[in-house]
Amino acid sequence: MYERLAEIVKGIEELERQRGELSERLRSKSELFPEALEKELTKKIEPKKLNLKVAAVDGGLLAQEFHGFDLVVARAVAVLFEYQDSLLAGHKYHPRAFAEVEIDVMSALESHDYNWHKGLFRLKKELEIACEGVEKFEPEFMLLDGSIVPLVSDKPADDSPVHGSYVQVISLYKKLYETCEKKGCTLAGVIKDSRGKRFVEILQKKFRDERILEKSSDTSLIHFLLKTGERTFAFNYSADPAKNQVLRDLSEWGRKINAFYIKPVEKDRPLRVEFLDGKHSFDEIASVIYSLSRINKNYGYPAVLIEADMRAALDKVELERAYRELFMKLGMRSSIMPLRRDSRPFR
Amino acid sequence: MANSELGTVISTFEGPTTANFAFVISNTKVRKGQFVQTQTEDGLLIGMVLEITRANRYFERAESVAEYEKNSSMVASFPTQDWEYVIANTKALGLFKDRNLIRSTFPAAPGAKVHETDIDMLREFLGFVENGLNIGKLQNHDVEVKLPLNNLFQKHLAMLAMSGAGKSYLASVILEELLDRKPEYGRLSVVVVDVHGEYLGFKQGAYADRTSVFDGRKIRVGLHKVSPQMLCEFLPELNSVQRREISKIMGELRAERKEMGTAYGMPDLIARIEQADMNKAVKSSLVGWLLELDTYKLFGKGDYPIMDELCRPGRLSVLDLSDLDSQKKKQLIVAYFAKKLFRQRKKGKIPPFALLVEEAHNFCREKAKASMSISKPIIETIAREGRKFGASLILVSQRPVQLSTTALSQCNTNIFLRVTNPYDIKHIAESCEGIDFSMQNSITSLRVGEALIVGEAVSHPIFVKVRKRKSVKSSKGESLETLAKKFEEMEVKKKEDVEAFI
């Protein structure tokens, strides 16, 4: 095992060395990249004195399988931070600081349908709350925890019993885009741990021989490429939205989804930022996200999203409470029996 | 309910149970030690706040707080104040029903509102009475602590605290209350064994007319009133032969002098022993012991003070031992007068009394040589039997660990001021009923003038802010600074006088 570990360590070191070297080379050249929406590979971000309203939405979800049904509890919360001279001057919540959880039960789902259902149920909650938050708070920015489009993995098969939920989610995304556009609000998704490869793919089109690109995700490379306070060029979410499985469901909105990466703090990795093309320029968006995120050199993430995450997080107790309520009303019957793997006699 | 709302009962892993409940505080008036009430299905549940916990999720991780604070205050970046919550962990004391406290058999309901306790009910619940001894204010409440005389003294009182915590101050307050008591409520006679002269101030000011001070140097024990058995207790070193011989001679001398109608003193007893026909070694030892006793200049032909002077209802007698150096002499005085008080009280010849013993660990030590335990047996006897005869003890000590466990355990009311010595704390916990872990901790953090009362006098342990004394503070209790200043002033005056004279 130790030999294998040594090999792995060596391999990782080598990958990082190559990414570092490539990044240096890339920074020294002034190439134009096809599909990049800007000329420069990297750009310095100007920090901004914050005098604005920023909202954020996050959701929490817990689920448990039972013999006869699958139980899901979720909630989403919108938080509004009002900044004056970059200091938090006020804050509000929607629907409230401690939002009630919503319970959902589905039965006879295949395992993969169950996974889709969970994700879609939470997305639905988050999108509903985001729409309401934009209407109610009228913020300059609405930040989502994660992407502003559904992931391909969120899309169930056409014949799945949960496909209807996906259709609802798509419809809610469109509604959110429309609401943001109508209210002059920039919708942005901040992705903590992106596995995206779109940026690398853009580079590959120019540097076909760089093998290290094949072995890199966007953030693993950009960590070496960007210096603190910089961002990459902006790019479209997809090279061909019409062919993208998800973007095509979003019809014309699919073409308006852009992204870039920023490195807000010294000791944290880059953040992927996705945004709906609209009122604010790339630089303005980057400035705001950067200014919101650079308050802890070890953890570059907007404070408003941290608050939303804490408000939305669910304790296991919530799930137990929902189960107890069901149990009290149903009594012990086969449907409510826990799975065998959750009720082993000795562990 | 008119009393202001303090919070809401919450459901936790630990409760609510019939013994405890916790509530989230909505009113910053809540304090540790405060009594609260909440309505249950069975009636009004009274509780006492044992501990208060303040929490905020934003400040749980030190490294994150440190990092965020480097840029600007966390408050400027996050709505931290919204995340703060305060939990009061409360002991359920019982239900107050028909003016009685009954055990709680059903817990408070999660979600139930918690209120301030009704003041009148609190007085009744804690057993305060209108004609009780007012020793101060109940902490966190605007309620005077008026303790019933019976409950406070009948089964004895111990006041334990480290030096400088306010024992003598509180004792003075209690003495004032005893002296101010009206005859119709029943008055005790109070005798104080004052080893530091801390109660001499009673001879001045408002209590001067009710106070007698007896200078320890002038106190005398009438030898003819000392029984042979008592004398043997004063001389525990005597062996059985010596005891037998001295008892015989004292018996003869006593009978002889009774017939003559005269008293005898130590020289008379020594002379009689020297004349007696007994083993030479025994004789010489007895004479030696008695000569040693005589060096204390304590034994004479009559008692001073006499019992009628010492013990009168509503009066204070201070045995001022502050100028005595010999601990043995102090013990002899305490042993003799305590015995006499108890015996006379048993016969109903003197009024019920309270004997306050300052530095009680020096008079009733748990572990000590026989020669230094002369007063211990009678103090323990009063502690055990005094209740039946109206003989009460007030033991005041700064070293509870050295105080007789027998005496301490018989004190059914304990008043603690600040104690920090871990051995003393352990001893207190072992000797005193009704002290739980949280109270042990509280004793170490009491401030000067704060006291914890536990036991018979109160139906539940209470924290008290001791009231201001009315009596004059003794000059012997003056601060080091004042004493030093006075000394130097005196020296300057002496020098000036000498110069003026020359």
Give the tens place of pLDDT for each residue, B115-167: 999 999 999 989 999 999 999 999 999 999 999 999 999 899 999 998 888 89
Is residue B316 within 8 A of residue B211, CB to CB? The reply is: yes
With vertex at residue B406, the alpha carbon angle to CA B401 and CA B408, rounded to the nearest 5 degrees, is 55
Q: Are residues B442 and B423 in the same domain?
A: yes
CB contact under 8 A, B75 and A295: no
Residue B194 lies in a domain: yes
Is residue B419 within 8 A of residue B401, CB to CB? The reply is: no
Q: Give residue B163's pLDDT.
A: 82
Q: Are residues B381 and B442 in the same domain?
A: yes
Which of B78, B80, B85 best tests the A interface by mutation, with the highest count of A CBs <10 A? B78
* Averaged pLDDT for residues B239-261: 90
Complex confidence, ipTM: 0.79
Read off the CATH number of the domain in which B421 is found. Answer: 3.40.50.300
* Averaged pLDDT for residues B434-442: 78
Does residue B201 surpass a pLDDT of 60? yes
Does residue B397 surpass a pLDDT of 90? yes
| Dihedral angle sign, alpha carbons of residues A210, A213, A215, A219 | positive
Residue B138 lies in a domain: no
Last residue of a domain, one of B299, B322, B349: B299
pLDDT in tens, B334-379: 999 999 999 999 999 999 999 999 999 999 998 888 778 899 999 9
Residue B205 lies in a domain: yes
Nearest to B82 among A97, A294, A297 (CB): A97
Q: B482 to chain A, minimum CA–CA distance in Å?
A: 55
Residue B454 lies in a domain: yes
Q: Give residue A111's pLDDT.
A: 85
Is residue B459 within 8 A of residue B127, CB to CB? The reply is: yes
What is d(CA B194, CA B174) in angstroms, rounded to the nearest whole number? 15
CB contact under 8 A, A91 and B82: yes
Does residue B461 surpass a pLDDT of 90? no
Task: Say how many domains are in chain B.
Answer: 3
Interface membership of A330 toward B (CB under 8 Å) = no
Q: Are residues B190 and B45 in the same domain?
A: no
Residue B425 lies in a domain: yes
Work out the mean pLDDT of chain B and round it to a whole number.
91
pTM of the model: 0.73
Last residue of a domain, one of B123, B155, B190: B123
Q: Are residues B164 and B235 in the same domain?
A: no
Print the domain residue range for B263. 222-299
> Among residues B495, B419, B461, B448, which one has the least CA distance to residue B50?
B461
Q: List phi, psi (to 5°) of B403.
A: -85, 140
Coil, helix or strand for B68? helix
Q: Give residue B477's pLDDT.
A: 64
CB contact under 8 A, B67 and A91: no
Interface membership of A89 toward B (CB under 8 Å) = no
Residues from chain A contacting residue B68 (CB–CB below 8 Å): 295-296
**Domain extents for chain A?**
2-59+75-316
pLDDT in tens, B60-110: 989 889 888 887 888 888 999 989 999 999 999 999 888 788 888 999 999
Residues from chain A contacting residue B79 (CB–CB below 8 Å): 81, 88, 91, 307
Residue B326 lies in a domain: yes
Residue ranges in chain A whose pLDDT is less than 70: 347
* Averaged pLDDT for residues B450-458: 91
Q: Are residues B236 and B187 in the same domain?
A: no
Does residue B301 surpass a pLDDT of 90? no
Query: A144: which 2 tokens?
Result: 């989502």
Which of A294, A295, A301, A320 best tests the B interface by mutation, with the highest count of B CBs <10 A? A295
Q: Are residues B396 and B319 in the same domain?
A: yes
Q: Are residues B469 and B409 in the same domain?
A: yes
Q: A88 to chain B, minimum CA–CA distance in Å?
A: 5
| Dihedral angle sign, alpha carbons of residues B72, B78, B81, B87 | negative
> Among residues A190, A166, A206, which one has the least CA distance to residue A275?
A190
Q: Are residues B341 and B468 in the same domain?
A: yes
Task: Write the CB contacts of B248 (distance below 8 Å, at least 6 apart in sequence).
Answer: none
Work out the mean pLDDT of chain A and round it to a whole number.
93
Would you give the end-to-end CA distance of chain A in angstroms? 30
Q: Are residues B187 and B229 in the same domain?
A: no
CB contact under 8 A, B77 and A303: yes
**Structure confidence at residue B1 as a pLDDT band (50, 70, 90):** very low
Q: Are residues B14 and B112 in the same domain?
A: yes
Q: Are residues B422 and B339 in the same domain?
A: yes
Does residue B386 surpass a pLDDT of 80? yes
Fill in the DSSP letter of residue B434: T
CB contact under 8 A, B77 and A88: yes
Residue B465 lies in a domain: yes
| Dihedral angle sign, alpha carbons of residues A143, A145, A150, A151 | positive
Residues from chain A contacting residue B71 (CB–CB below 8 Å): 294-296
Q: Are residues B292 and B320 in the same domain?
A: no
Q: Write out the CATH class of domain A2-59+75-316.
A: alpha beta
Does residue B114 surpass a pLDDT of 50? yes
Residue B493 lies in a domain: no
CB contact under 8 A, A303 and B57: no
